[in-house]
Structure 1
Amino acid sequence: MTAEQRADRSESFGEALLGEVLDRAHELPPHLIGPLVADVVERLGGRRPQVLLQDYGQLLLVPLPGDGLTDGEPQVIDDSEAGRCFLDAHPVELSEDDGVRVHLPLLDGGDQVGVMAVTLDSVDDHDRRILRRIAGLVADLLVTKHGYSDLFFGVRRREPMSVAAEIQWALLPPLAMIMPRVAVAGILEPAYDVAGDSFDYALNGDVLHVAMIDAMGHGLDAATMATVAIGSYRHARRAGTGLPEIYAFMDRAVADQFGPEHFVTAQMLQLDTTTGHLQWVNAGHPSPMLVRDHRVTLRLTGPTTLPVGFGGPQPQTSEMKLEPGDRLLCFTDGLIEEHKTGEDEFGEDLMIDWVNQLERTGRGIRAVARSLSHTLKRARGGHTTDDATLLLVEWRG
């Protein structure tokens, strides 16, 4: 191939902007992400850049501090353009007196890191393409730098957090994963004082693995037990064992560490994302609900065994075939056993009514999971004396 036949490899304007982020990313300290964003946005002709991160309670979008970034009050997710961008995971443009305010979702593997906002005099498709790609790189930076800095924890934390909650949040996978065939979204309450509830998932090839647990008790004891339960679940899962063997390994780990008076209820599932074939075992945990055609249609009942730590018999594996669009709602008992002041338990029937109402909105799985948790908390009168955790799994087919 002659020099004249080689493709043009000169740097375009867009490549130069993206290259600015890539070239500096490797050795960029976390606190300099903001100035880098501001510099790149300015070269694009933008102004008033903001990076907004979701708080732990999933109520607010909080501005990330940094030289060149615009300060401001946290924005309410349910009542702002930035919040609409965050919930729907789509750009939102708003005409203002001095130009167009563009909000872009910061997405990493489907998980919603936050929102990037910038004002331009006008916006065309070239601007949209470049901004979308810049937002993708910024999201990746936030995720990778998060592992070795407390900066982002501090921004997202809006009230004091218990030690037990610190442990649980460090244990969790991303709250959401959106992939072509399958999606997952979860939420923990109370966000700043959760202790014994946790969940885990992993997409290994075509198989989605999911676990939800509820360790007995409260505070550090419950958080420690949940850590052992999730750690042993991951160990057994990564060894390639089946669901009954995973239960047995978790059971031995909890019993050996904590003795016979301690236990963890657990639900473990495996979903073949190519066929929709679902398998699960239940260890004393509330049965998941199947949401089909935007309403709860059945409970995933079946044989159960004793909670993890009690040395129960080997669990029997239940199975069924999902249909495209089906959603599974996994939850802990705190979601339905909370009492209104002076009244009966909140109960499953009322929870199902709210699930059906929210499902009819047709919103994505992240928005539904978040809305369901917050709606149920309001319906309980704002009370959360026990952990109340939920996880939605959607098979897209």
Structure 2
Amino acid sequence: MDDENVDRSEGYGERLLGLLLDRVRQMPPQLIAPLVAEEVGRMGGRDVSILLQDYAQETLVPLPGRGLVVGQPEPVADSPAWRSFLRGEVVEVPQHPSGVRMYLPLLDGSDQVGVMSLTLDTVHDDDRRLLRRLGGLVADMIVTKNAYTDQFFRARRREPMSVSAEIQWGLLPPLSMTVPQVAVAGILEPAYRVAGDSFDYALNDTILHVAVIDAMGHGLDAATMAAVAIGAYRHARRVFVSLAEKYGFMDDAISRQFGPDHFVTAQLMHLNITTGRMELVNAGHPAPLLIQEGRVVGQLESATTLPVGFGGKAPRVSEYNLRPGDRVLCFSDGIIEEHVSGGTTFGEERLIHCIDRLGRRPSDGLRADLRRLSHTLKRERGGHTSDDATLFMIEWRGGAADHLAVVD
């Protein structure tokens, strides 16, 4: 088509979203809420609320701000807000005597930031399309501004947080990621006191890189060691290629910084998201569980490797071929070593039983399923977590994503 014949005129939706894009670069964080409320008002909406997930993943908490409706936190329940959040879907609820309450997932990439709710008198497909795009833009604004304000952190924090937990939350990548070929999700417990547990991941071209770690000890000592381990892992990931080299780099960093009496257990993985080929180094961690069609079918066993920091030999890398739909669950010993009634440990057998029982239910997606598993395990362990406990799950789907780069 001739450039002169291309329609470059500004439509209504572009003007609405464009105003946000034009102003957001210089906008102070506290002015996001008033601008969003004004934008929604321009399209006939009212009663705008922005709900963010708390750190324990137990409630959706309202973000305070001029122009926003600030209600009570929404606990975990089968509410429209939670359905929208967990499934990443728009939920519409008719209001009496008129109007429709809309719940829009705030998606930063594929990670759920929260939910925006508003009311319209009537809803048409054009409204739905514009609101979905507005929700994505609001999520990006919140994530971007979060880098230089404490406003969103304070809204999400529901109880005092230890210094070690502050360090760990500052290290974490987004809690979930979804692309057509693979999805990941992770949870740390206890959210406000975690110290030595952490995880990290990156998708570089066709390789998903994953590390799940557990630094010995408690409090600041453990958090400091975990920070060094994750920092060394990221540096090695960005310089080296093999899992064995990553292990060696982390091992050297921990031993040099903390001496021979300190260590970090770790699982390091490479997953080719095109072929499903997984490489695994297990350095003192419980073996990951392989889940197929909702049931645990076995462990991903690997050669014995010393924990990071002990100066072990170069590890032997184990290899597995995943099938589309397979899930791999990594967990730290805090999950299975928690003492329950009678003084016995929770154990891996009970963990597997919980996974299999929940696997009989229809899936709501990886992140929702992992969150449900985490909360179920916490109830089964008596509602408390005395040691750090991590769950990290990978779902390999296969296929391709090239179609997303094609403009129809």
Fold in common (TM above 0.5) = yes
Q: 2:401 maps to what in 1?
A: none
- Match of 1:16? 15
Q: Figure out how many residues of one structure are paired with residues of the other and give that number.
A: 396
Residue matched to 2:226: 226
Residue 142 in structure 1 maps to residue 142 in structure 2? yes
- Contact 2:197–2:215 under 8 Å retained in 1: yes
Q: Distance in 1 between matches of 2:334 and 2:24?
A: 42
TM, length-normalised to structure 2? 0.95
Cα deviations by residue, 1:272-324 (Å, 9 ceiling, x for unpaired): 00000000111111110000121100101120211001111111000011000
2:280 and 2:227 map into 1 onto residues whose CA distance is 21
Aligned equivalent of 2:57: 58
* 1:2, distance to aligned residue in structure 2 (A): 8.7
Residue 329 of structure 2 is aligned to residue 329 of structure 1? yes
Per the alignment, residue 369 of structure 2 pairs with: 368
Q: Deviations over 1:12-59 (max 9, x none)?
A: 211111111111111111111101110100001000011110000101
How far apart are 1:238 and its partner, in Å?
0.5
- Asked if the contact 2:280/2:302 (under 8 Å) is kept, the reply is no
Q: Which amino acid aligns with 2:50?
A: V
CA distance in 1, matches of 2:95, 2:114: 22
For 1:34 and 1:117, locate their aligned partners in 2 and report how far apart those are by CA, in whole Å.
13
Q: Which moved more, 1:97-106 or 1:210-219?
A: 97-106
- C-alpha offsets along residues 103-161 of structure 1, whole Å, 9 cap, x if unaligned? 01001121000001110001110100000010010011011111110001000000000
Map of 1:339 onto structure 2? 339
Secondary structure of residue in 2 paired with 1:154: helix
Percent identity of paired positions between Structure 1 and Structure 2? 63
Name the CA distance, whole Å, in 1 between partners of 2:359 and 2:117.
29
Q: State how 1:1-397 maps to structure 2 within 5 Å.
A: 6-97=5-96, 98-361=98-361, 362-397=363-398
3-state SS of 2:244 partner: helix
* C-alpha contact 2:45 2:119 (8 A) present in aligned 1: yes
CA distance in 1: counterparts of 2:264 and 2:6, whole angstroms:
61
Q: Which amino acid aligns with 1:353?
A: H
Native 8 Å contact 1:287 1:299 kept in 2: yes
Q: Where has structure 1 moved over 3 Å in runs of 4 or more? A: none
Query: C-alpha distance in 2, partners of 1:244/1:152?
Result: 39
Distance 1:2 1:372, change over 3 A: closer
SS of residue in 2 equivalent to 1:161: coil
Residue 26 of structure 2 aligns with an amino acid whose one-letter code is E
In the TM superposition, what whole-angstrom CA distance separates every residue of 1:345-380 from its partner, at most 9, and x where no partner exists?
A: 001111101111222222210001111111101001
Cα distance in 2 for partners of 1:79, 1:290 equals 29
Preserved contact between residue 167 and residue 223 of structure 1 (Cα < 8 Å):
yes
C-alpha contact (below 8 Å) 1:77/1:86 kept by paired residues: no
Question: Is this contact kept in 2: 1:92–1:103, CA < 8 A?
Answer: yes
Instruction: Give the drift of 1:7.
Output: 3.0
TM-score with structure 1 length normalisation?
0.98
> SS at 2:342's partner residue?
coil
For the residues of structure 1 that align with 2:30 and 2:78, how far apart are their CA atoms?
29
Are the equivalent residues in 2 in contact too, given 1:260–1:309 (CA < 8 A)? yes
2:402 matched to which residue of 1?
none
What residue identity is the alignment partner of 1:326? Answer: D
Tell me the distance in 2 between the aligned counterparts of 1:318 and 1:13: 55
The aligned amino acid for 1:23 is D
Deviations 1:166-195 (A, max 9, x none): 000000000000111010000000000000
Letter in 1 for 2:136: G
Amino acid at match of 1:385: S
* 2: CA distance, partners of 1:50 / 1:356: 37
Q: Post-superposition shift, 1:384?
A: 0.6
Distance 1:239 1:2, change over 3 A: closer
* Cα distance in 1 between the residues matched to 2:246 and 2:10: 52
The alignment yields a C-alpha RMSD, in angstroms, of: 1.2
CA distance in 2, matches of 1:285, 1:354: 20
8 Å CA contact retained: 1:340, 1:383: no
CA–CA distance in structure 2, aligned partners of residues 217 and 306 of structure 1: 17
Equivalent position amino acid for 2:371 in 1: R
